[in-house]
Structure 1
Amino acid sequence: MTLSVEQAYRAIAARMPQHTGAAAAPRAVPATVLADPEWLRADLDTAARLYGGADGRVLGTIRWYSASSVLVAPAIEGLVLAGHALDPALAATTFAMHPDGRFAGARSARVLGPDPAELGAALAESLGAAVAAIAGVSGAAERALWAIAGDSIGNRLLWAGTARGDVERVLALAEPLAARIDPRLPRPRFLRVGDTPVLRRSSCCLIYLAPGGGDKCVSCPRQRPDERDRRLRELMG
């Protein structure tokens, strides 16, 4: 059965009312900006205002950490909760953005089929275009940006699987989906903290390197494994 966009979003909202497409913000921005060097250079200025002065590599990484999570969300939420992925193509996706430049959410205007392989091919194209452009403008390494994209996919699978109430089956999609995208994209890995599944991150957002960025995130991979595990246990209870 082929779903319309409206049917897909209704199915998503039934299980995840606060899905990414439900986010409201006054600015609608086409996701094609992620492959536009001129917009990306201006966005580094936006990042500097949001996070303080830092070099382009740090600011570009921080921004991609937010943008990639929002970009892949409609596709993952659609696949898991509606049975059909929403198209992650840059030309099909529109960001909802706050006036200060923060990403609030995203919606896709097209529906793909139910095959994860089709979604993998679509993600390969959209993520590849964005990663190449952001690396070229910011100086961030493409491999690091691909790692962030992998973590974004892993987290969205985890959250959508939780909303569906079938986490283990949904997380099993991570390996075959990632294999269809790009060899540079790390396979999402998961661990359990008590009874709670948690993404074992491969990437760092680098926000701790920005002025006022604070400490490393609880799940940051740039800390000793025993320290990360201790902080995760304390957070998860």
Structure 2
Amino acid sequence: MTPDDVYRLLSTRMPHHAGSTTGTGVHRLPATAFTDPGWLREDLDRAARMYGNSTSRVLGTIRWYSASSVLVAPSVESLVLAGTALDPSLSAVTVDVLPDGRLPGARSNRVLGGDVGELGAAFGSALGAAVRAIAAVTGASERSLWAIAGDSICNRLLWSGTASGDVASAMALAMPLLAAIDPRLPEPRFAKVGRTPIVRRASCCLIYEATGGEKCTSCPRQTPAVREARLRSLLG
């Protein structure tokens, strides 16, 4: 199966997949940029213009929260919906970038295969390189950045499983996949709010520290009771 074959399947089963981005002003950036200290420092400046002046740790964490979700999307979506994963290697992935630095999508130009262990090892290498570089530039801890990446993978599994019509099978991939990436990753956790499955997050994006606004509805930095009430108010 070629990348084009995979993307044809994705377009049929999940029209708004990560590689479907279109729009004025979008340009493609090699994912290797996430290991480039110069580019990362420039991105902190873009983040400050969007979210307000804050520490590099906070701004870098906010950016990684969205970037990690985009970076893992092509491989997770293709694994769930096509049965074979696109390669998550930074050299294979390009990300779509808007002028303000937001990342609406990404594509991979190589097929890796359907083995979860092999995909986990590839994710470990790609995400590990980005995590080390971002931690060095921003001062964010590698542990917190890895937790964010784990939540991003779980969310993409959930969304892809919803598109496939088999959420349970997609969620069942989380444990072996995260274990193959790095056994130190937080154990994936899912829950239901009413009839809606959600990721029980292990990570925080820290956006409230930059904006002075409320914590996200599913933020783990709330008491369980408050988080549950907010989620039920949103999801029913």
Helix, strand or coil at the partner of 2:105: strand
**Corresponding residue for 1:183?**
183
Aligned residues: 234
CA distance in 2, matches of 1:64, 1:14: 29
**Corresponding residue for 1:151?**
151
Tell me the CA shift for residue 42 of structure 1.
Answer: 1.0
Structure 2, gaps ≥5 residues long: none
**Corresponding residue for 2:214?**
215
Structural mapping, 1:160-171, within 5 Å = 160-171=160-171
Structure 1, gaps ≥5 residues long: none
**Corresponding residue for 2:7?**
9
Structural mapping, 1:187-202, within 5 Å = 187-202=187-202
For residues 80-115 of structure 1, give each alpha carbon's deviation from its aligned partner in whole angstroms, at most 9, with x where no partner exists: 001110111000000111111110100000001111
Structural mapping, 1:95-106, within 5 Å = 95-106=95-106
Structural mapping, 1:71-86, within 5 Å = 71-86=71-86
**Corresponding residue for 2:21?**
23
With the length of structure 1 as denominator, give the TM-score of the two structures.
0.97
CA distance in 1, matches of 2:169, 2:187: 16
Tell me the CA shift for residue 188 of structure 1.
Answer: 1.7
CA distance in 2, matches of 1:100, 1:173: 34
With the length of structure 2 as denominator, give the TM-score of the two structures.
0.97
Which AA in structure 1 matches 2:166?
A: D
For residues 120-167 of structure 1, give each alpha carbon's deviation from its aligned partner in whole angstroms, at most 9, with x where no partner exists: 010000000000000000000110000000000000000000000000
**Corresponding residue for 1:113?**
113
**Corresponding residue for 2:234?**
235
Instruction: Using the aligned pairs only, state the percent identity.
Output: 64
Helix, strand or coil at the partner of 1:192: strand
Which 4+ stretches in 1 moved above 4 angstroms? none
Which AA in structure 2 matches 1:215?
A: E
Would you say the 8 A contact 1:147–1:184 is kept in 2?
no
Deviates more, 1:188-197 or 1:215-224: 188-197
RMSD: 0.8
